Chains A and B, each alone.
Chain A
């Protein structure tokens, strides 16, 4: 596990000042690391700040406080960011939830996919660029007839494939996907997940997957971070989190996931978690090297070994 660290986020804060009296604290001290080739899942309810984390990492919002290191460079620092601009632009890509809004409606599929290559001047030879386009389309499961179509002419699943091809075009080291499959049909969701799995195995990029659907996280991720109210409640390997959830919020979240089994589902008992019962001041406690939990609940008994 001593692979190269791709992304390191430490004590990230992101506050939005709405007016003089009101500041929304969207992210409140989030820390996690992503190693090379690792798939990390970020789960949480609406408003827990998971998308804000993604956008802060990408530099869409300047961080209020805290540091983000990309390949050892502190990119929250403006100077360092500008020095490493090219590297960051080429090697960090994001996929958004709503592909209809993310893709320019006035550009064809070919233009959309090749834009990052042309803007970043990665290739000059026109023939090579066309070859690259063909191979990218093939990789995401589209054929060359899609080249000249506009985003409105293709379905949601296909649009998401185009967005994936676009983000693969620069061969990035880190891909951040913000709810990439939430707006798709069940059968199409499975197609996109398998596509991600296949591409991740082939290209070996690191992957930060943001989702609210725990079953997908469980399926694809190596590591999971559970967020609530701008803080990470629990972080650990997928196996640890799903088999020994320590935080009551994680437990309640896991108990609420609907399972497609009528008899099991009806006898299931929901675990309730009261957000107000949490302490304000709390620290991350390490249960094992692969599993940490935020100690902000009363009934917590520290168990080092299980």
Chain B
């Protein structure tokens, strides 16, 4: 039986601004199992970062968790205060951000930045911490870790810096790693190596990973399960094969059709018309309805519930209702090996 490491139950997060309430995350429920990589895909502003930061409680004071529970490893942390969160951050929950240069302190040697997190969470001596730090650098694939230990971040290339950030994040054996666009700022060749590294680390340590990205290609490589978010809600969730080979939500169809790599060269690229919505006073119905050519009248009035397609695959669209007209789903992805 899979062991749930992270559970979000009907989580809603809002920001209070002078123009009103911005509903960044709306009624999100999901489960992350031990040793699983869950990818969260969506455009900017769809709430994927807010969702992950609300688990770590890194959001500014203008935000509040409106409803829902956050359960980490069987423990309800929804009402945890800063003092209790500090013990969790780095120890149980860890996060890797997009830009390694702003994450690392440019004036402190890499080694010290790694041992800092180890010494905070474990009562061990400096020598032991250093030993563990060198081990971590080895794990993330940095050559000559002893020599690199004393160097400042500017000696490293972008990919190496992201490896160092990963080493810091993994140093105190966290149970859940949040990787927020962790490979977006990197070149494709470096990105491919970091992704392989993450898969490798998962196999070695059994860590659970929440991988946030907007790149469907990257997600296809790394994710066991995929959740697609739009306007603060999960519109489709399922295993990677479910979502890539059998997508049900029209937004996911649009996203896939808009990928140049799936379109023949010279042909016209399909686009999703319009803009992602602003989450200030969101519409009552399906937020995607205005950009959706398959939209039904009910889409504008009422939010669609999550329909179960298979025990692993859920989607929130009225098209799956038995009363809705039958729409021939576009075949988007033919398997490359067939």
Which residues of chain A from 197 to 215 have a CB within 8 Å of any chain B CB? 197, 212, 214-215
B214 to chain A: closest residue by CB: A186
CB of B270 within 8 Å of the partner chain: yes
The answer to whether A270 and B196 touch across the interface, beta carbons within 8 angstroms, is yes
CB of B4 within 8 Å of the partner chain: no
The answer to whether A191 and B271 touch across the interface, beta carbons within 8 angstroms, is yes
- In the complex, what residues of A have CB within 8 A of residue B215's CB? 186, 258
The answer to whether B260 and A256 touch across the interface, beta carbons within 8 angstroms, is no
The answer to whether B218 and A157 touch across the interface, beta carbons within 8 angstroms, is no
B221 to chain A: closest residue by CB: A265
The answer to whether B258 and A265 touch across the interface, beta carbons within 8 angstroms, is no
Which residues of chain B from 94 to 116 have a CB within 8 Å of any chain A CB? none
Picked from A193, A253, A255, the residue with its CB within 8 Å of the CB of B269 is A193
- In the complex, what residues of B have CB within 8 A of residue A190's CB? 258-260, 269-272
Picked from A187, A215, A255, A262, the residue with its CB within 8 Å of the CB of B244 is A262
Q: Given A187-B276, A262-B240, A266-B221, A219 and B43 touching (CB < 8 A)?
A: no
The answer to whether B220 and A265 touch across the interface, beta carbons within 8 angstroms, is yes
The answer to whether A218 and B187 touch across the interface, beta carbons within 8 angstroms, is no
Could you mark each residue 83-99 of chain B with 1 if its beta carbon is under 8 Å from any beta carbon of chain A, else 0? 00000000000000000
CA distance A219 to B271 in the complex (A): 14
With both chains docked as a complex, state the minimum distance between the C-beta of B182 and any C-beta of chain A, in angstroms: 14
With both chains docked as a complex, state the minimum distance between the C-beta of A7 and any C-beta of chain B, in angstroms: 23
Q: Given A186-B258, A187-B255, A258 and B44 touching (CB < 8 A)?
A: no
The answer to whether B261 and A257 touch across the interface, beta carbons within 8 angstroms, is yes
The answer to whether A219 and B269 touch across the interface, beta carbons within 8 angstroms, is yes
Q: Given A186-B43, A219-B269, A261 and B191 touching (CB < 8 A)?
A: no
CB of B328 within 8 Å of the partner chain: no
- In the complex, what residues of A have CB within 8 A of residue B189's CB? 45, 252-253, 256, 273
CB of B275 within 8 Å of the partner chain: yes
Q: Given A212-B187, A253-B188, A256-B192, A218 and B158 touching (CB < 8 A)?
A: no
CA distance A22 to B194 in the complex (A): 31
The answer to whether B196 and A218 touch across the interface, beta carbons within 8 angstroms, is no
- In the complex, what residues of A have CB within 8 A of residue B56's CB? none
Highest count of chain A CB atoms <10 Å: which of B158, B192, B219:
B192
With both chains docked as a complex, state the minimum distance between the C-beta of B208 and any C-beta of chain A, in angstroms: 19
CB of B165 within 8 Å of the partner chain: no
CB of B268 within 8 Å of the partner chain: yes
Q: Given A157-B275, A187-B276, A270-B196, A258 and B191 touching (CB < 8 A)?
A: yes
CB of A306 within 8 Å of the partner chain: no
The answer to whether A263 and B192 touch across the interface, beta carbons within 8 angstroms, is no
A194 to chain B: closest residue by CB: B269
With both chains docked as a complex, state the minimum distance between the C-beta of A270 and any C-beta of chain B, in angstroms: 5
Which residues of chain A from 122 to 156 have a CB within 8 Å of any chain B CB? 155
With both chains docked as a complex, state the minimum distance between the C-beta of B188 and any C-beta of chain A, in angstroms: 4
CB of A65 within 8 Å of the partner chain: no
CB of A300 within 8 Å of the partner chain: no
CB of B150 within 8 Å of the partner chain: no
CA distance A197 to B260 in the complex (A): 13
- In the complex, what residues of B have CB within 8 A of residue A46's CB? 158, 187
The answer to whether B261 and A260 touch across the interface, beta carbons within 8 angstroms, is yes
- In the complex, what residues of A have CB within 8 A of residue B261's CB? 215, 218-219, 257, 259-260
- In the complex, what residues of B have CB within 8 A of residue A268's CB? 221
CB of B293 within 8 Å of the partner chain: no
Which residues of chain A from 28 to 61 have a CB within 8 Å of any chain B CB? 45-46
